[in-house]
Structure 1
Amino acid sequence: MLAALAYFLLPLFWLVVASTKSTEDLFTTFGLWFSDSPRLFTNIYGTLTHDGGIFAHWMLNTVVYAVVSALGAALLAAAAGYGFAKFRFRGHSAAFNAVLGAIMVPTTALAIPTYLLFAQVGLVNTPWAVILPSLVSPFGFYLMRVYAQDAVPDSILEAARLDGASEVRIFFRIVMRLLAPGLVTVVLFTLVATWNNYLLPLIMLNDPSLYPVTVGLASWGSQAVGGGSGANSDMLALLLTGSTLSVVPLVVAFLLLQRYWQSGLATGGVKG
Structure 2
Amino acid sequence: MSALSTAAPAAASTARRPKAYSPEKRRSNLLTVILWVIALYFVIPLFWLVIASTKDNADLFSSFGLWFGAHFSLFQNIGDVFSAQGGIFLRWALNTVLYAGVSAVGASLLATMAGYAFAKYQFPGGKALFSVTLGAIMIPLTALAIPTYLLFSSAGLTNTPFAVILPSLVSPFGVFLMRVYAADAVPDSLIEAARVDGAGEFRIFWQVSLRLLGPGVVTVFLFALVATWNNYFLPLIMLNTQELYPLTVGLAQQQAASAAGGGAQALFSTVITGSLVSVIPLVVAFLYLQRYWQTGLATGGVKG
TM-score of the pair, normalised by structure 2: 0.85
Which residue number in structure 1 is paired with residue 76 of structure 2?
42
CA RMSD of aligned residues (A): 1.7
* Aligned ranges 1:177-192 → 2 under 5 Å: 177-192=211-226
Calculate percent identity across the aligned residue pairs.
64
Trace 1:115-264 onto structure 2 (pairs within 5 A): 115-227=149-261, 231-232=263-264, 234-264=266-296
- d(CA) in 2 for partners of 1:232, 1:101: 48
Shift of 1:266: 5.5
Instruction: Tell me the equivalent position of 2:32.
Output: none
Superposed CA offset, 1:46-95 (max 9, x none): 01111111001101100110011111100000000000111111111111
Tell me by how many angstroms 1:29 deviates: 1.1
CA distance in 2, matches of 1:9, 1:264: 25
> Cα–Cα, structure 1 residues 38 and 117, in superposed 2: closer, same or farther, change >3 Å?
same
Displacement of 1:238 in angstroms is 0.3
**In the TM superposition, what whole-angstrom CA distance separates every residue of 1:167-202 from its partner, at most 9, and x where no partner exists?**
111111111111111111101111110000000000
Whether contact under 8 Å (1:23, 1:233) holds in the other structure is no
Instruction: Point out the more displaced range, 77-86 or 167-176.
Output: 167-176
The answer for the alignment partner of 2:102 in structure 1 is 68
Deviations 1:6-38, CA, capped at 9 Å, x for gaps: 100101111111011000001111111112310
- Contact persistence 2:102–2:165 (CA under 8 A): yes
1:25 maps to amino acid: D
Alignment of 1:26-37 (within 5 A): 26-37=60-71
Once residues 6 and 149 of structure 1 are traced to their aligned partners in structure 2, the CA distance between those partners, rounded to angstroms, is 38
The equivalent of 1:104 in structure 2 is 138
Cα contact 1:223–1:232 (8 A) shared by 2: no
Instruction: Indicate the SS of the match to 1:42.
Output: helix
Gaps of 5+ in 1: none
* Corresponding pairs, count: 270
Q: Which runs of 5+ in 2 are unaligned?
A: 1-34
Q: What CA distance in whole angstroms lies between the structure 1 residues aligned with 2:121 and 2:230?
A: 35
Contact 2:59 2:70 in 1 (8 A): no
State the 1:269 CA deviation: 7.6
Select the structure of larger CA radius of gyration.
2
**CA–CA separation in structure 1 for the residues paired with 2:235 and 2:64:** 35
